[in-house]
Amino acid sequence: MIAPEKLFQLAAGQKRRKLALTFGELERDIAGIAEPGTAYNFTRMTRREYTKAVTEIVLQDPKLPESTACELKKMLSDPEFDERRVCNTARNALLSIIGTFPAEWDLVIAPHKGNGSTESRDFFPGVCVYAEDIRAPFNLGSIFRTAEAMGCEKVYISPQCTDPSQAKAVRSGMGCIETMGYTRLSLDELPGDTPVFALETGGTPLEDFDFPEKGIVIIGSEELGVSPEALKRATAGIVTIPMTGLKASLNVGVAFGILMQAWTDSIRKKDIGTFN
């Protein structure tokens, strides 16, 4: 960490950029997810004191909106002082002034307590997803994130699916790729004794679909959807999300989230959804 007085002496543009980076590092440290080499180590003052000191520098920025300045001042004077909220507010205000806006993978989201391996997390046994030829790393990461949050047991990916270890996939996955793991399989290698269905247009509407207790849902690529070969493999049916808009199109990660909500609700209603 750079001493507050040194930050104050930087030229305006450089100061804003460095402060934005500093608040990001502080926020990750507060959330317990500091990146290697960025944990708080400024020995001259506590992290709380440091956060207040650098926030005071931000308050002197002539381009800081008055509404944001009032909000930061209020937070600084609060006896309970929410360090992370102050850092988040100041960082995003600076990014707005700079003209740089964070992508979703830049967001600082702390893991829930108790997150861990598949042996310790809750999931619906036998509820799995097969991601076929997903091209965008961001989309693949979001699929893992949704799969973990909604209780999938396993994630399978096709041979042509993008690499889950790519930086954008890892960042949008928010730790869920590491938590869940994955298996890369061809369609022919999917378990033969498990019901397989597909999320695609032209099928049974979501509210009418008979979801299996256990199974594998195939979600297709952003551009081409589920392949003809995969549709043949989906012997348990095709489920469709009804849409009314002009575009009638959803991001693959969003569509998967809607599907998972309906599937897990179906399991709960059948009273067969006891968590592992």
Q: 79-91: per-residue pLDDT in tens?
A: 999 999 999 999 9
Nearest alpha-carbon partner for 219 in 191, 246, 254, 247: 254
pLDDT band at 117 (very low <50, low <70, confident <90, very high): very low
Asked if residues 215 and 192 have their Cβ atoms less than 8 Å apart, the reply is: no
77 and 26 belong to one structural domain: yes
pLDDT in tens, 199-258: 999 999 999 999 999 999 999 988 889 999 999 999 999 999 999 988 778 999 999 999
Q: Is residue 122 domain-resident?
A: no
Q: Is residue 119 domain-resident?
A: no
74 and 186 belong to one structural domain: no
User: Measured over all CA atoms, what is the biggest interatomic distance in the chain, rounded to whole angstroms?
Assistant: 67
Q: Is residue 142 domain-resident?
A: yes
pLDDT recorded at residue 118: 43
Range of the domain at 56: 4-104
30 and 167 belong to one structural domain: no
pLDDT band at 106 (very low <50, low <70, confident <90, very high): low
135 and 260 belong to one structural domain: yes
174 and 83 belong to one structural domain: no
DSSP string, 132-145: -S---HHHHHHHHH
131 and 268 belong to one structural domain: yes
Asked if residues 259 and 241 have their Cβ atoms less than 8 Å apart, the reply is: yes
150 and 82 belong to one structural domain: no
pLDDT recorded at residue 102: 63
d(CA 231, CA 228): 5
Single-letter amino acid code for the residue at 198: A
Domain count within the chain: 2
Q: Is residue 109 domain-resident?
A: no
Query: To 10 degrees, the CA torsion angle through 88, 93, 98, 101?
Result: 60
156 and 58 belong to one structural domain: no
For range 150-167, the mean pLDDT: 94
44 and 85 belong to one structural domain: yes
pLDDT in tens, 37-64: 889 999 999 999 999 999 999 999 999 9
Q: Is residue 121 domain-resident?
A: no
Question: Going edge to edge, which strands form the sheet with 215-219?
Answer: 183-184, 154-157, 127-131, 215-219, 196-205, 238-240
pLDDT-above-70 percentage for the chain: 91
Burial of 274 from C-beta contacts in 10 A (0-12 / 13-18 / 19+)? exposed
